[in-house]
Amino acid sequence: MEISYLKNIFEFHPADTRERRDDHEKVRYLCLELAQHLNRLLPECHEKKRAIDHLDDCCKDSNAAIARHS
């Protein structure tokens, strides 16, 4: 792997514009909305926990994409 690739993954990427901050906020809002819907819709079970955990990963990866590639 290229050093520049590793640095891009592990260095801090501040949300230095209003647009980036708004995009991060939108991702968190949408993921929370979906999580709340799934929480109401799905029965309490292992699969529900996994679905919420995957949504958490989706939120993190989406925000990483905004931070690293905007």
Question: Is 48 inside a domain boundary?
Answer: yes
Residue 35 lies in a domain: yes
Reported pTM: 0.90
Question: Which one is predicted more confidently, 70 or 7?
Answer: 7
Q: Is residue 54 part of a domain?
A: yes
Query: In whole numbers, what is the pLDDT of the chain averaged over residues?
Result: 97
Q: Is residue 1, in this structure, part of any structural domain at all? A: no
Instruction: Give residue 70's pLDDT band: very low, low, confident or very high (50, 70, 90).
Output: confident
Is residue 69 in some structural domain?
yes
Whether 51 shows a pLDDT value over 90: the answer reads yes
Cα-based distances in Å from 41 to 8, 45, 48: 38, 12, 10
Number of domains in the chain: 1
Structural domain range at position 37:
24-70
Rg (CA), the chain: 15
Q: What is the chain's length? A: 70
Q: Is residue 64 part of a domain?
A: yes
8 A C-beta contact, residue 70 and residue 38: no
Choose between 70 and 15: higher pLDDT: 15
